[in-house]
Amino acid sequence: KQEVTQIPAALSVPEGENLVLNCSFTDSAIYNLQWFRQDPGKGLTSLLLIQSSQREQTSGRLNASLDKSSGRSTLYIAASQPGDSATYLCAVRPGGGADGLTFGKGTHLIIQP
Amino acid sequence: EAGVTQFPSHSVIEKGQTVTLRCDPISGHDNLYWYRRVMGKEIKFLLHFVKESKQDESGMPNNRFLAERTGGTYSTLKVQPAELEDSGVYFCASSQDRGHEQFFGPGTRLTVL
């Protein structure tokens, strides 16, 4: 059974810092991995999708990497801003035809102005 | 382009009552997913439709939950009768093709008293 762990559970950093959020998964037989952000009381916003054959994806100040064999992904946020404050969720889609995502519990990020 | 919409945003019912949640996917998306998050836990997959067919309902907790997608457009998730442990946030997501990026709605917060 796939399990997804996100570390740290919470993080508070001053504005302008670069930071890394970690995601690990127990079963490396994944089809892809998706990073989301969730603002309080809102739905999930998709940030990046990495296919299992890819090593990384970039969107603006965000860079996500994937090391499928070791069961790890990182989300790198450059030059953090207060607007980046949110909960960041990692989710994996299994291989083998199933489509339901398995989520981690998330990292609650606060960027201090 | 409109995103995934869900109705209602909040629902408060008493134990034993029936509640029906609705999800309208992004237009043209054949794949529709239901997820839920109960307090303190990670988001969990419930089921997956491809058009009007249930592709995977392995995450449905029990037979008090009934999901439908007549005509392959919007979907409903009925809980009958509701129990206290059904409280949580129910999310709907859609994707254009299987394995593609999933886009989430804002969720329905269900409280069972």
Interface of B with A in 1-60 (CB under 8 A): 4, 31, 33, 35, 41-48, 55-56, 58-59
Please list the rounded mean pLDDT of every run of 10 residues in chain B (113 residues). Answer: 91 97 96 95 96 94 94 95 97 92 96 97
Q: According to the model, what pLDDT value does residue A57 have?
A: 96
Q: In this structure, what token pair is assigned to residue B62?
A: 């029990």
CA A101 to mean position of chain CA atoms:
13
Go through chain A and tell me how many residues it has.
113
> Is residue B104 less than 8 Å (CB to CB) from chain A?
yes
Give me the residue label for tokens 């009934």.
Answer: B66
- Say what the pLDDT of residue A38 is: 96
Cβ–Cβ < 8 Å for B3, B105: yes
Going by C-beta distance under 8 Å and a sequence separation of 6 or more, which residues neighbour residue B5? Answer: B23, B24, B105, B106
Q: Which of residues 25-44 of A touch B (CB under 8 A)?
A: 31-32, 34, 36, 42-44
Indicate yes or no: CB of A101 within 8 angstroms of CB of B102. yes
pLDDT at position B19 is: 98
Cα dist from B84 to A39, A48, B17, whole Å? 26, 35, 11
Check CB contact under 8 Å for A99 and B58: no
Tell whether the model's pLDDT for residue A98 goes beyond 90.
no
- What confidence score (pLDDT) does residue B40 get? 85
- Please enumerate in sequence order all residues whose Cβ is within 8 A of that of A90, keeping only pairs 6 or more positions apart, or say none: A4, A6, A21, A23, A33, A34, A35, A36, A73, A75, A103, A104, A106
pLDDT of B1 reads 64
Residue B94's beta-bridge partner residues? Answer: B32, B103
The answer to whether B43 contacts A103, with C-beta atoms less than 8 Å apart, is yes
Each residue's pLDDT tens digit, A4-23 = 999 999 999 999 999 999 99
- Residue A68 parent element (H or E): none
**DSSP per position, A4-19:** EEEE-SEEEEETT--E
When pLDDT is cut at 50, 70 and 90, the band that residue A26 belongs to is very high
pLDDT at A68: 93
* Closest A-chain CA to B31: A99
How many CB atoms lie under 10 A from the CB of residue A14?
Answer: 9
Nearest CA in chain B to A46: B103
Q: Which residue of A has its CA nearest to B104?
A: A44
41-100 of A, contacting B, C-beta below 8 A = 42-46, 49, 89, 91, 93, 98-100
- Nearest CA to B102 out of A96, A93, A4 is that of A93
Which of A31, A32, A100 is the closest to B59 by Cβ? A100
Residue of B nearest to A2 (CA): B44
- The separation between the first and the last C-alpha atoms of chain B, rounded to the nearest angstrom, is 37
Mean pLDDT of A40-58: 93
